[in-house]
Structure 1
Amino acid sequence: MRVNRVSLSFAVIVALFVIIYPATIAMAHKLNVFAYLEDSSILGEAYFNDGAPARNCEVLVKAEGDGSVVGRGWTDEDGKFSVNIDPSNRKIVTIVVDGGMGHLGRVNINLSSFDNSTNMSDSNFIDKLPTEEEQIENLVVTLDEKEIASIVKSVLRSEIEPLHAEIIQLRKELSKPGFNQIMGGVGYIFGLIGIALWFKKGYGDGHDKR
């Protein structure tokens, strides 16, 4: 009877360890990916649940449907990446980051939802350009459509980049183990200790009865 009780206790401890420990490790090493389109490049960052950057990992951009690779790159030491793609490829793509050891992070983005074109060919805009008579002291600043679009994009980029950084930082904080997960781990440890004490007590009682 004592042997069966010992075997059962050992089996319970092993089962709990096998079930919970890998899940805990997998949660800690979950790979998260944040990405967005800018001009003709997919920009983003990959990081683990503890906030550590996914360094030197391969990044694949796959087309929806056939899964063909339309872009390829690598993360840097900060986990950031930039992958060039065909700007006319306006469809849903999946960004896959291979963190090694079976850790894959992925995210889908709809390229058609990003409008990077700036149309400055409005007739009202052209009509407002100064005429020769309105030019003062022959000082004229001429900007073509591409230059204007470039200026607009530069201003927008300077405003949006800090927002992207804040979003990534917020996602890192949210992906870290929370209070409930920490308390769950503590409870798991105390549970194992309780089982061990129960096993020890049962083993001692068996010897005392003998």
Structure 2
Amino acid sequence: MKALIIVLLPIFIYAHSLSVTSSYENKELFIESFFGDGNPCKGCNFVVKKDEKELYKGSLDNEGVFEEEVVLETPFDIHVDGGMGHWADVSIEGNEMDEESDITNNSNTTMNSIDETKIRQIIRSELNKQNSKIEIMIEKNKSNTEKMLIGLGYILGIFGLWQLILRKKEK
């Protein structure tokens, strides 16, 4: 029974890890948080901080999402508290969309003056940024799984050696 607990404990611990994704564009803060088993972090509290100074507090909805217009100055950090020792942090760096860009929305410029290739370049650029963030998260989770499996291998190896020593003493 003890061996079963030792083997399964890391799996249960990893299953309740907390993940957070967030973005801040055009003064809209988006946060999504979920546990390792895919369940949303329902009603979890979060704090937005910059240089250890609290800028904003809120809570996630029943789907583990917060999406609202909030005026913040980048960069800042977001700390999500999932309760019972589960927490996660994410950093938001400076946003290119906050700076002056090629596309301005004033009375002299209209959407008709932007050609299709420029729109495609902008969309492709933004999708590449999001894809790279997703790839980083996938790689991070892969490395955590690999570490868990390596640790499990060590535990099983030590347990096997211990059993081997006990059998030799009995003979």
Could you state the TM-score of these two structures normalised by the residue count of structure 2? 0.62
What does the per-residue CA deviation read over 1:22-67, in whole Å, with 9 as the maximum and x for residues that have no partner?
Answer: 777655543232221122221133244x462543142424231353
Higher share of residues assigned strand: 2
Question: C-alpha separation between the residues in 2 aligned to 1:59 and 1:114?
Answer: 27
Asked if the contact 1:42/1:83 (under 8 Å) is kept, the reply is yes
Q: What is the DSSP-based 3-state SS (H/G/I as helix, E as strand, rest coil) of the residue aligned with 2:160?
A: helix
Structure 1 vs Structure 2: percent identity of aligned residues?
18
- Residue 193 of structure 1 corresponds to which residue in structure 2? 160
Asked if the contact 2:27/2:69 (under 8 Å) is kept, the reply is yes
The equivalences for 1:52-201 within 5 A come to: 52-77=38-63, 79-86=64-71, 89-111=72-94, 113-115=96-98, 119-121=104-106, 144=107, 148=111, 166-167=131-132, 169-174=134-139, 175-176=141-142, 177-179=144-146, 181-201=148-168
Rg larger in structure: 1
Unaligned runs of 5+ in 1: 1-12, 122-143, 206-210
Q: What is the DSSP-based 3-state SS (H/G/I as helix, E as strand, rest coil) of the residue aligned with 2:53?
A: coil
User: Given the superposition, is the C-alpha separation of residues 59 and 42 from structure 1 closer, same or farther in structure 2, using an over 3 Å criterion?
Assistant: farther
- Across the two proteins, how many residue pairs are aligned to each other? 158
Q: Which amino acid aligns with 2:76?
A: V
Asked if the contact 2:29/2:69 (under 8 Å) is kept, the reply is yes
Unaligned runs of 5+ in 2: none
Q: Which amino acid aligns with 1:198?
A: I
Asked if the contact 2:49/2:78 (under 8 Å) is kept, the reply is no
Asked if the contact 2:10/2:148 (under 8 Å) is kept, the reply is no
Q: What is the DSSP-based 3-state SS (H/G/I as helix, E as strand, rest coil) of the residue aligned with 1:192?
A: helix
User: Given the superposition, is the C-alpha separation of residues 113 and 120 from structure 1 closer, same or farther in structure 2, using an over 3 Å criterion?
Assistant: closer
State the Cα RMSD in Å.
4.1
